[in-house]
Amino acid sequence: MIKAVKGTRDILPPSSTVWNEVESITRELFRTFNYQEIRTPIIEETALFARGVGQDTDIVSKEMYTFEDRDGSSITLRPEATASVMRAYIEHRLDQAPGLQKLYYIGPMFRRERPQKGRYRQFYQIGAEAIGSESPAVDAEIIELVVELLRRVGLTEFQLHLNSVGDANCRPRYVALLREKLRDVAPRMCGDCQRRAETNPLRVLDCKVPADQPIIETLPSIQDHLCEPCRTHFNAVRGHLENRGIPYEVRPRMVRGLDYYMRTTFEIVHGGLGAQNAVLGGGRYDGLAESLGSKVAAPGIGFSIGEDRLVMSVEQEHPDAHKAALDLYIAPIGAAAELHCARLAQDVRSAGRSVELGLDAKVKRSMELANKIGARFVLLVGDNEMAAGRYTLKNMQSGEQETVGRDQLIPRIE
């Protein structure tokens, strides 16, 4: 039997209802913050991610789906979309457009990770990027947007973690210091840390192995090694967040797994998610445009929400989120009633109400089915009802039953 490829999955009803609901709330919220949608291709030249996300990151070095196209070029299924959005920004000279470019996207990403709860090889992101300014006010606005998004979809149990990873001036100095400290302690750490101490010392801070935690505590903190402009920027971001009433926690050891970050970085975690508890991550990437070959600077900041994890958190906080609201089940009794009911269904649907038009069946069977699929009301229509022009309407929540004329039907179910 052919099954879905490992690490991929089908999103079925009723869960797909929650996905749609989350996406429609999201699109509406983006509109109110004046963000517009961008759709970039799923496939890109491999070099885009190698240069943008970084050759030494886990994503690029071991998780990408890369293949050689028939003309010999190297193509990759996008593992994330920030690099793609920046490519589009440069390619279409969006820097010439007035004001900031505020763009959002919703779509699938691909990473060949070890699948587990909340981690898939095809997963979905809802992301946004604001390109064209270094201002800390932009950082605060994008964080405000994403926090509001989580609230609007109904989440309460989440925390915002904030950090600054410095810039091309102060970070290399901090990394050198970290590397030096690690020379002494890394041999007592896990195998991954020993390797990272050489290749990418920042990633050591991200190690989850319990035995390594006391050692990590002793390592220097980037917060103590920011240069003056980065310190000022970070303090300004904090001030803007406080002004907007957004609670956060500074996490000096939070490092993000992509190389383009500069200054502000953030993550939001949700208690109900287990080991893969980051619902979203984001940050500033002021040097990304230049690393993709742009002559013009294009400082930006953005986030990507793991939509799979977002939906999981919503389902966990609201177990009733699935209840697809079917307004009316119309139950025809007899062949003539089937024809009559089809026209009734047209009326109710044009009034914007959802209708499941049943097939001719015994009253008992129709009732059972209507109950199982969660209809709010059932309308019974047989020969007598058609002759009288009055139908039996049952409220499935209260159990009450009444006879209604055609013109009363829609007001009754509303």
Q: How far is the CB of 368 from ligand HAM (least distance, A)?
A: 39
Which is closer to ligand HAM, CB of 111 or CB of 253?
111
Among 201, 283, 299, 358, binds ligand HAM (CB under 6 A): 283
Among 19, 49, 89, 303, interactor with ligand HAM by CB under 6 A:
303
**Binding pattern to ligand HAM, positions 19-58, x when CB under 6 A?**
----------------------------------------
Number of shown-chain residues binding ligand HAM (CB under 6 A):
27
By CB under 6 A, residue 306 contacts ligand HAM: yes
- Which of 114, 343 has the CB closer to ligand HAM? 114
The span of 192-200, 214-222, 275-283, 398-406 binding ligand HAM (CB under 6 A) equals: 275-283
Q: Which of 302, 332, 358, 382 binds ligand HAM (CB under 6 A)?
A: 302
Q: Please, which of residues 158-177 interact with ligand HAM by CB under 6 A?
A: none
Secondary structure (H, E, C), the chain? CCCCCCCCCCCCCCHHHHHHHHHHHHHHHHHHCCCEECCCCCEEEHHHHHHHHHCCCHHHHHHCCEEECCCCCEEEECCCCHHHHHHHHHHCCHHHCCCCEEEEEEEEEECCCCCECCECCEEEEEEEEEECCCCHHHHHHHHHHHHHHHHHCCCCCEEEEEEECCCCCCHHHHHHHHHHHHHHHHHHCCHHHHHHHHHCHHHHHHCCCHHHHHHHHHCCCHHHCCCHHHHHHHHHHHHHHHHCCCCCEECCCCCCCCCCCCCEEEEEEEHHHCCCCEEEEEEECCCHHHHCCCCCCCCEEEEEEEHHHHHHHHHHHCHHHHCCCEEEEEEECCHHHHHHHHHHHHHHHHCCCCEEECCCCCHHHHHHHHHHCCEEEEEEECHHHHHHCEEEEEECCCCCEEEEEHHHHHHHHC
Nearer to ligand HAM, 127 or 358 (CB): 127
Q: Which of residues 52-81 bind ligand HAM (CB under 6 A)?
A: 80
Nearer to ligand HAM, 267 or 327 (CB): 267
Closer residue to ligand HAM in complex, CB, 225/263: 263
Nearest distance from residue 261's CB to ligand HAM, in Å?
7
- Is the Cβ of residue 118 or residue 132 nearer to ligand HAM in the bound state? 118
Tell me: does residue 113 bind ligand HAM (CB under 6 A). yes
Give yes or no for residue 212 binding ligand HAM (CB under 6 A).
no
| Residue 141 contacts ligand HAM per CB under 6 A | no
Residues that bind ligand HAM (CB under 6 A): 80, 82, 111, 113, 118-120, 123, 125, 127, 129, 256-258, 278-283, 285, 302-304, 306, 308-309
